């Protein structure tokens, strides 16, 4: 590729033709501020509408300043990224953006994590010299996400996530000029749209325009109510990311500290969603084997492939966009909902607490889990199985407001019986993990033999679409894996066309799986962070004595004492569900 030599801030540099000024500067360690620009390297996705103009730099010989994110370098260019002219222009631009932004920082959900706020701080903005009209747009509240378009800076990052990465197509810029706003079709509210609540738009929004529904207040009230027994479950991906909120290196496992923080917050029992993940494998694995058995015996009626069903955004996605396939996914509920159903029956009985007096809180890497817990089918007499689903970020804010010094906390263990888990439960947190966990159990049940190995490296990785064939003692089982709904769509189109070669497919909506969930600490597009979280998950699996779900002693006990067998009538009632045509 042709190389171009240029000079940035008195440094000579050689880069390939087509490189932008922003990229070239980054190569010599120069940071140019950006707002609208977003690049997700591994996904080959770039959002560069060139709209905000805060990245302008001075190019010698040009009359106008050039936006660094969308100007390609040219031979011999002499660029000054922080000349006073550039800095002055940037400050003016920022002030203009702020002149149409509510000064809500004191009470804004994004405060402390807001790129606009950081930039105003960094550029030393102390006063806004421009006064103009202010955008006023109604607030849109859904079960999981709040849209406050007054705070939107129209960077279009959310549009890129929703349309290009997820291919859901909810969001688009509508109207023009001052009236322009990012919105679902016909300005309907999110909860009337095909939104999956994956939260990937929330994860990239630089401001407080898109945030998750904050349930920390409700949890604090429950915790301070002496008549309630409040229990908590923590999803696998949370422990691999929570530390980032407390300045720990990405990929630091904080399982033990998280447990002790939750105890200090006053939860009566600290349990683990990983336990329920093991339970999911028992149910989903059994269902897989029963369908597979029939299929291999030549039964033409049985639907293949079987698809995982633990991701609520994925469930909502196919309910809207592929309703004709709604009989294909496993009927197994997600681990969050299995946990809730068991907690409010089996466990409530065990400790002699009425369902109404037991509050189940979950800590999830996910925004869609808020929506999932609000689905009507996951409640008994109007009392939900899971009362509140907090994101990893919300947990961090609870810990902060309770003045808990997270880093110096001791490591503690989960409570029993719903806190015991195997390595198979842990890996649910990453793309490839659910299907690997299912293979570990399904193989042993099917063949009656002990697995010769436990690490299925062929199922791991970060590529958006992966496939592998696992030898089930002579029977080859074809497995597909997709993360990101755009990738999932490709596999679904194949199934629809009758061209799918797979027996089982794992789908997670978020790039990377739940480690990259919409409720995780903001990673600002840095995929390296996801890889570190993934490594942490696999290392926790490796360190477990038990690594197959069917070996979890408390799961065995749960079946003996309460459920009977996987797919029993009781299990069906409490642990399985059905899907709806929402097209």
Partner 1 sequence: MTKIKLAEKTIELIKSVCTQFGNKESELINVLHQIQSKLGYLPAEVQEVIAAELNMSVAKVYGVVTFYSFFTMLPQGEHPISICMGTACYVRGGEKVLHEFKRHLGIEVGQTTADGKFSLSCLRCVGACGLAPVVLVGEKVYGRVSPQQVSKIIAEYQEGCVNVQTA
Tell me: does residue 5 bind partner 1 (CB under 8 A).
no
Work out which of 48, 157, 333, 344 binds ligand SF4, going by CB under 6 A.
157
CB 205, min distance to ligand SF4, A? 3
Q: How far apart are CA 41 and CA 99, in angstroms?
A: 33
Rounded Cα distance, 163 and 487, in Å: 12
Please name the residue ranges forming H helices in 254-387: 255-265, 273-296, 312-321, 335-342, 348-351, 368-374
Total of chain residues touching ligand SF4, rule CB under 6 A? 41
Q: Which does 174 bind (CB under 5 to 8 A by kind): ligand FES, partner 1, ligand SF4, none?
A: partner 1
200 binds ligand SF4 (CB under 6 A): yes
Binders of ligand SF4 among residues 282 to 321 (CB under 6 A) are 311, 313-314
Among residues 69, 209, 265, 390, the one that binds ligand SF4 under rule CB under 6 A? 209
Torsion of CA 292, 294, 299, 300, to 10 degrees: -30
Number of residues this chain uses to bind ligand FES (CB under 6 A): 12
Applying the rule CB under 8 A, the residues between 299 and 328 that interact with partner 1 are 320
User: Is the Cβ of residue 59 or residue 515 nearer to ligand FES in the bound state?
Assistant: 59
Stretch that binds partner 1, among 182-190, 240-248, 507-515, 534-542 (CB under 8 A): 182-190
Q: How far is the CB of 501 from ligand SF4 (least distance, A)?
A: 24
CA distance 108 to 458: 44
How many whole angstroms separate alpha carbon 148 and alpha carbon 210? 6
Among 37, 39, 101, 147, binds ligand FES (CB under 6 A): 37
The region of 51-59, 326-334, 335-343, 519-527 touching ligand FES under the rule CB under 6 A is 51-59
* Among partner 1, ligand FES, ligand SF4, none, partner that 199 touches (CB below 5 to 8 angstroms by kind): ligand SF4
Structure tokens at 290: 């029963």
- Here the tokens at position 542 are 């490796």
Under rule CB under 6 A, residue 154 binds ligand FES: no
Is residue 250 within 8 A of residue 533, CB to CB? The reply is: yes
Among 508, 558, 571, 574, binds ligand SF4 (CB under 6 A): 508
Q: Does residue 169 belong to the site contacting partner 1 (CB under 8 A)?
A: yes
By annotation, the residues acting in catalysis are: 284, 287, 310, 330, 369, 372, 377, 514
- Rg of the chain over all Cα atoms, to the nearest angstrom: 25
**Strands, sheet with 306-307, edge to edge from the N-terminal-most edge strand:** 306-307, 504-508, 475-483, 465-472
Q: Are 99 and 74 in contact (CB under 8 A)?
A: no
For the chain, the helix, strand and coil percentages under 3-state DSSP, each to the nearest 5: 45, 15, 40
172's contact among ligand FES, ligand SF4, partner 1, none, with CB below 5 to 8 A by partner kind, is partner 1
3-state secondary structure of 568: coil
Residue 574 interacts with, from ligand FES, ligand SF4, partner 1, none (CB under 5-8 Å by kind) = none
What residues does 232 pair with on adjacent strands?
Answer: 270, 361
Q: Which of partner 1, ligand FES, ligand SF4, none sits in contact with 134, Cβ below 5 to 8 A by type?
A: none
Q: Which stretch binds ligand FES (CB under 6 A): 34-42, 84-92, 247-255, 480-488?
A: 34-42
Report the phi/psi class of residue 417: left, alpha or beta, with left for phi > 0 and alpha for psi in -120 to 50: alpha
Contacts 24+ apart (CB under 8 A), 158-162: 158/182, 158/201, 158/202, 158/204, 158/205, 158/210, 159/47, 160/38, 160/45, 160/47, 160/204, 161/200, 161/201, 161/203, 161/204, 162/200, 162/201
Distance CA 396, CA 496 (A): 42
Helical H runs in 37-111? 84-99
Cβ atoms of residues 67 and 54 within 8 Å: no
> Least separation, in Å, of the C-beta of 34 and ligand FES?
4
162 lines the binding site for ligand SF4 (CB under 6 A) = yes
Cα–Cα distance, 171 to 145 (Å, whole number): 13
Give yes or no for residue 184 binding partner 1 (CB under 8 A).
yes
> What is the Cα–Cα distance from 316 to 159, expressed in whole angstroms?
19
Binding mask 55-94 for ligand SF4 (x = CB under 6 A): ----------------------------------------
Residue number closest to ligand SF4, CB atom: 517
Residue 523: contacted member of partner 1, ligand FES, ligand SF4, none (CB under 5 to 8 Å, by partner type): none
Segment holding 6, helix H or strand E: strand 3-8
Does residue 154 touch ligand SF4 according to CB under 6 A? yes
Could you say which of 16, 18, 50, 76 contacts ligand FES (CB under 6 A)? 50
Query: Does 581 engage in binding with partner 1 (CB under 8 A)?
Result: no
Point out which residues bind ligand SF4 (CB under 6 A). 145, 152-158, 161-162, 166, 168, 170-171, 182, 195-201, 204-207, 209-210, 311, 313-314, 365-366, 368-369, 508-510, 513-514, 517
Point out which residues bind ligand FES (CB under 6 A). 34-37, 50-55, 67, 69
């Amino acid at each position: 590729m042709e190389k171009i030599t240029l000079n940035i801030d008195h440094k000579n540099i050689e880069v390939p033709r087509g490189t932008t000024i922003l990229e070239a500067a980054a190569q010599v360690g120069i940071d140019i501020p950006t707002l609208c620009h977003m690049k997700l390297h591994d996904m080959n996705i770039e959002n560069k509408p060139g709209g905000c103009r805060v990245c302008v730099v001075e190019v010698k010989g040009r009359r106008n300043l050039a936006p660094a994110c969308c100007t390609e370098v040219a031979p011999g260019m002499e660029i000054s990224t922080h000349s006073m002219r550039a800095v002055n222009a940037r400050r003016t631009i920022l002030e203009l953006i702020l002149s149409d932004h509510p000064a809500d920082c004191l009470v804004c959900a994004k405060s402390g994590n807001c790129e606009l706020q950081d930039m105003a701080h960094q550029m030393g903005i102390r006063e806004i010299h421009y006064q103009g009209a202010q955008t006023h747009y109604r607030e849109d509240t859904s079960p999981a996400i709040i849209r406050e378009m007054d705070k939107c800076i129209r960077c279009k990052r959310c549009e890129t996530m929703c349309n290009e990465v997820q291919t859901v197509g909810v969001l688009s810029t509508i109207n023009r000029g001052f009236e322009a706003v990012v919105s679902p079709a016909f300005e309907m509210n999110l909860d009337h749209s095909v939104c999956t609540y994956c939260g990937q738009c929330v994860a990239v929004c630089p401001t407080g325009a898109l945030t998750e529904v904050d349930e920390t207040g409700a949890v604090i009230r429950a915790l301070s109510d002496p008549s309630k027994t409040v229990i908590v479950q923590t999803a696998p991906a949370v422990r691999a990311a929570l530390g980032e909120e407390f300045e720990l290196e990405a990929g630091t496992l904080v399982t033990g500290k998280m447990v002790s923080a939750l105890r200090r917050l006053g939860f009566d029992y600290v349990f683990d969603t990983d336990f329920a993940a093991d339970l999911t494998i028992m149910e989903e694995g059994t269902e897989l084997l029963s369908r597979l058995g029939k299929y291999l015996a030549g039964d033409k009626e049985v639907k293949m492939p079987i698809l995982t069903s633990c991701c609520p955004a994925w469930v909502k996605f196919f309910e809207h966009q592929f309703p004709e396939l709604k009989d294909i996914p496993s009927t197994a509920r997600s681990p969050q909902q299995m946990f809730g159903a068991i907690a409010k029956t089996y466990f409530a009985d065990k400790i002699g607490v009425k369902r109404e007096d037991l509050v189940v809180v979950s800590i999830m890497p996910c925004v869609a889990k808020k929506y999932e817990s609000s689905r009507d089918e996951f409640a008994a007499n109007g009392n939900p199985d899971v009362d509140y689903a907090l994101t990893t970020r919300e947990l961090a804010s609870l810990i902060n407001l309770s003045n808990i010094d997270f880093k110096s906390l001791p490591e503690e263990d989960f409570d029993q019986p719903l806190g015991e888990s195997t390595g198979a439960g842990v890996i649910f947190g990453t793309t490839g993990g659910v299907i690997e966990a299912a293979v570990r159990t399904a193989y042993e049940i099917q063949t009656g033999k002990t697995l010769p190995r436990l690490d299925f490296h062929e199922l791991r990785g970060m590529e958006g679409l992966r496939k592998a064939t696992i030898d089930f003692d002579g029977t080859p089982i074809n497995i597909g894996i997709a993360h990101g709904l755009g990738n999932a769509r490709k596999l679904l189109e194949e199934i629809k066309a009758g061209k799918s070669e797979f027996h089982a497919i794992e789908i997670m909506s978020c790039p990377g799986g739940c480690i990259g969930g919409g409720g995780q600490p903001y990673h600002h597009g840095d995929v390296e962070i996801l890889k570190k979280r993934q490594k942490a998950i696999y290392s926790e699996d490796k360190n477990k004595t038990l690594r197959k779900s069917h070996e979890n002693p408390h799961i065995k006990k749960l079946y003996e004492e309460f459920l009977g067998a996987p797919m029993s009538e009781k299990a069906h009632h409490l642990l399985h569900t059905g899907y709806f045509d929402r097209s």
